[in-house]
Structure 1
């Protein structure tokens, strides 16, 4: 290195974030929150033009390049060879589009936000020495990713990663046997829209509202929640509040839920709120928060949101939620896909303000929950590992 190079101020690391969709899913909202937290790197984002998950990020200094084609819906789970072939063709087309981006050519590090984005990025990055960091937000299993999605991800993407960020120990363990020996790995909490924590819980005398936050899709278990709610609260003035909207081909499930509340006799007690921007405010508005996924959840952002706001919480055991909740201390864990077990937990909370107070206090004392700004700093520390040896750095932004 020359003396001039040594004296030249280091520029921020240029990180290109790749998202396979611009629609509002959990992974996309987590990335948007990360980038809105004003990270210390120079951020670019390549994604498809449709969707509004990343609207407004330009105000935070993020350069957007919406050039990626939209992938076919259902390609990862299809048993149709024709649809799988069409999906693979779309992945290759997206890789070609990514290679044509000026952001791609200038990046010091590529960060793939999802499994599909990882396949696109790995295909585009072949023959280059730019490190690829992949975010593991789903369990790396055929059940979670779909048979074709799992095969494509584990064969086309994971062998080429320099590092992985997992949202829970459970998620990381699901990929352990598929990662290159030299790949760096870390477990980092995903940003959950948390600005500050509640340290002094407020627990009302009676339960008036029970809430659930999450995209309306079957495996999230809104139907389980509604059956449990009906078993405990049907015919009372207690309300069930569902925050979340369907995406892609999930509108049929929303209609199924609307039909179910009529069948259960609780149509007048259920509020379908659609997507909610201010999740902390929604969590504060309910007396009990529910997480009801029917299979192990990789992270369970609802769980973090409930704990951070010191809310009495019931969650499905297994996966990420079991890493955060000590049942009976800072929440209650119930078996998955068991409306009767969830109903018993809701009844226990409805019948005892003292139990709700104890769980709320335990939630407030839960260690390790990070604000979005703290999440950004933790991500910066990991990305620093892959920064070029000279000429760039990640420094904390004041």
Structure 2
């Protein structure tokens, strides 16, 4: 990917500024960090608030990082308090002013807004300099997913000014389609999974000893559903449950609730909370069955991609992104969301049949279309090129 260097005779890598509304480890932030450490063919910069460690390693990969944006108030998109909503909007405007003053923003050929909140910030900032903004849709564009205030702000302030849209699944893109102008460049692109190699020959142990989940500890991810289903199946046995992932600030109470639930269910001695794990592949390889248990449709379901890439026997809740990747009974099992009894039935089925576990693992290994992080970066580069070219064509057409 290249752009004119101002002399017309040579080319330089395009300058892409990535904007994140937080530096803490969420799915969107980890996906961006993975892509920027995969050697993308552009000159990358990042603007985000201080705090958090999701992007700590990026300077070592040649990414210019500026931590100049203010922290957004927690709960601002979902609160019914007019005062908190006003404070949230004021902080978005302050973040836009900070972004506008950034040298990285001043020299960018394109801005990539990594989340809905980042897209609002970038849209407000571009009022001073009309750089093209690519909006990354990582959540369903609905009031339920973004919050009532967040949805209104995103659809009114950000989407109308987008030069292009990337979605992490067809489900996510479809949720925004009626809000997108006709002809706007758009693409469904896989998010980097963090796994650099695929397992092509599954290894299935004779018995199920460990069942696991990986993902941030938050209620809609359904770790409580997993624990109830696990207790139904395996309480008092030597089967273990492992939950990888950590809560962010506002979710600490949920993490404690999960520990109390495990004790109430009589499985505390069988459950291990590992906290955040950097070696996702190692964690997945350590379990016999991997579970995705979101209680509502998942925009993508990064766990699903990771499980498929590692040829793991997999159970996921149906709807959203997971249903785009899993054919139930072929490369995984799909169960209804928020139904511990249905999840328990699927666990029993897999625990009772090594043959079924092997068939699903083999189906996972054959799943087409899962990209490496480097391939994900190349796919994003191609779309960024399309957006830049589209803007230049529009400029020429308007002359």
What displacement does 1:269 show?
0.3
| 1:264-279 → structure 2 map (5 Å cutoff) | 264-279=265-280
C-alpha distance in 2 between matches for 1:230 and 1:257: 13
1:71-220 superposed matches below 5 A: 71-220=72-221
Q: Residues of 2 paired with 1:14 and 1:122: CA distance?
A: 18
- CA–CA separation in structure 2 for the residues paired with 1:325 and 1:335: 14
Which residue pairs with 1:315 in the alignment?
Answer: 316
8 A Cα contact 2:213 2:290, kept in partner:
yes
Q: How does 1:356-395 map to 2 (within 5 A)?
A: 356-387=357-388
| In 1: Cα distance, 2:238 partner to 2:390 partner | 63
- Deviation at residue 389 of structure 1 after TM alignment: 9.0
Whole-angstrom distance in 1 between the partners of 2:274 and 2:226: 15
Name the residue aligned to 1:42.
43
Task: State the shift of 1:385 in Å.
Answer: 1.3
CA drift at 1:128:
3.1
1:262 aligns with 2:254: no
Once the two structures are TM-superposed, the CA of residue 130 in structure 1 deviates from its matched residue by 1.3
2:351 is aligned with 1:350: yes
* 2: CA distance, partners of 1:64 / 1:257: 36
Return the alpha-carbon distance in structure 2 between the equivalents of residues 124 and 180 of structure 1. 21
Q: Note the 1:285-324 alignment, pairs <5 A.
A: 285-324=286-325
Assess, with a 3 A threshold, how the Cα gap between structure 1 residues 389 and 113 changes in structure 2: closer, same or farther.
Answer: closer
Q: For 1:42 and 1:33, how far apart are their aligned partners in 2? A: 15
Say which structure, 1 or 2, has more relative contact order (CA 8 Å, 6+ apart): 1
CA contact (8 A) 2:185 2:387 kept: no
Asked if the contact 2:132/2:391 (under 8 Å) is kept, the reply is no
The residue that corresponds to 1:244 in the other structure is 245
Q: Secondary structure at the match of 2:274?
A: strand
Name segments (4+ residues, structure 1) moved above 6 Å.
388-391
1:51 maps to which residue? 52
Could you tell me how far 1:386 is from its partner in structure 2?
2.8
Q: Which residue of 2 aligns with 1:332?
A: 333
TM-score, normalising length: structure 1 = 0.96
Give the match for residue 60 of structure 1.
61
Aligned to 1:10: 11
CA pair 115-389 structure 1, distance change in 2 beyond 3 A: closer
Give how far 1:179 is off: 1.1
1:215-230 aligned within 5 A = 215-230=216-231
| Residue correspondences, number | 388
2: CA distance between counterparts of 1:155 and 1:74?
Answer: 19
In the other structure, the counterpart of 1:394 is none
The two structures have a TM-score, normalised by structure 2, of 0.95
Q: CA RMSD in A?
A: 1.5
Deviation, 1:127, is 4.9
Per-residue CA shift, 1:51-80, capped at 9, x if unaligned? 100001011110001100000000001011
2:312 touches 2:361 (CA, 8 Å); kept in 1? yes
Q: Is the 8 A contact 2:108 2:131 kept in 1?
A: yes
Structure 1 stretches lacking a partner, 5+ long? 392-398
2:338 aligned counterpart, secondary structure: coil
Secondary structure of the corresponding residue to residue 82 of structure 1? helix
Aligned to 2:395: none
**CA distance in 2: counterparts of 1:126 and 1:80, whole angstroms:** 28
